[in-house]
Amino acid sequence: VIGVDWGTTSFRAYRLRGREVLDRLDLPLGILAVAEGRFERALQDAMGPWLADGERRILLSGMIGSRQGWVEAPYLPCPAATADLARALIPVPFAAAETLLVPGLSAADQDSVPEVMRGEEVQIMGTVDPSGGTTTVCLPGSHSKWVRVAGGRVEGFSTHMTGEAFAALRGHTILGRLMQPDAPPDPDAFRRGVVRSGDPGGLLHHLFGVRTLGLFAQLGEAAAASYLSGLLIGHEVRAAAPLQPASPVLLIGAGALCELYACAIGQCGGSARLAEADAAAQGLALIGERAAWTSPDC
């Protein structure tokens, strides 16, 4: 089986034998980079060698199943486990191989505002223990997800627009003018931002402090972006979930960002552990094992 985590800006393919990753391919071929929606052609080009080598089954996940993607897959409502996702796969018309699509998940937060994810559900299934107890999982990013998992099932989740808000505030407000471009991360400034996020006054007030601390030479231009990052991630972490040292948050994602979240979670009274790599590949393998393929295995 070929598993593809096909997102807005990335295309990560895994050639799988059971749960073993035989080969992998990481291309800058996110759905925004595919001209005129020619997804079949793009998949054919990218997977040509593996298909020529006999692969006949492809499992897709991520934003490729969104309205802007190839085939729109309705969200599967929570609670949902690996088996539920495997039963809800959507066929995709692709001539060169039997191709199925993992639907995203939907949920309602406690005030019935809808919640959605696409792609993260596969990473979660590839990481959590199906026989495990209640765990909080966090997938940091442009749209960070905080997920309640119990017994291998996603019970519910909430999204925080932290990464995208950071980029917009840094790139398109007065705050960016006080920041040295391409400054290396400043861990002390990050921690200072996380501390500040616990003060009264709210995020919109704390943002202005990035400017005034700079104005009064209490925050250098090389440190300001890390401070802003700590401020935003601190606000997210404090609002997202109850934190306890004895119940570590399971972090899934890129190493450097997960390290920042682990730091912030620790500062806010919790603890964190980092998931092993290849969460998406493992999740695609587990769902692929349970899929009702009609084609013969290669």
Q: Which residues of the chain form contacts with its own copies (CB under 8 A)?
A: 109-111, 113-116, 143, 158-162, 164-165, 167-169, 171-175, 196, 199-205, 207-209, 212-213, 215-216, 218, 232, 235-236, 238-240
Nearer to its own copies, 229 or 282 (CB): 229
Q: At what angle do helices 224-240 and 187-196 cross, to 10 degrees?
A: 40
Rounded Cα gap, residues 91 and 89, in angstroms: 7
Nearer to its own copies, 22 or 161 (CB): 161
* CB burial of residue 155 (10 Å; 0-12, 13-18, 19+): middle
Smallest gap from Cβ 184 to its own copies, in A, equals: 24
Smallest gap from Cβ 169 to its own copies, in A, equals: 6
Kindly state the DSSP code that residue 35 receives in the 8-state scheme: G
Nearer to its own copies, 231 or 286 (CB): 231
Smallest gap from Cβ 204 to its own copies, in A, equals: 4
Rounded Cα gap, residues 147 and 155, in angstroms: 8
Smallest gap from Cβ 69 to its own copies, in A, equals: 14
Nearer to its own copies, 56 or 143 (CB): 143
- Cα–Cα distances (Å) from 126 to 2, 119, 278, in that order, read 15, 11, 8
Smallest gap from Cβ 70 to its own copies, in A, equals: 18
Rounded Cα gap, residues 170 and 220, in angstroms: 15
Nearer to its own copies, 21 or 203 (CB): 203
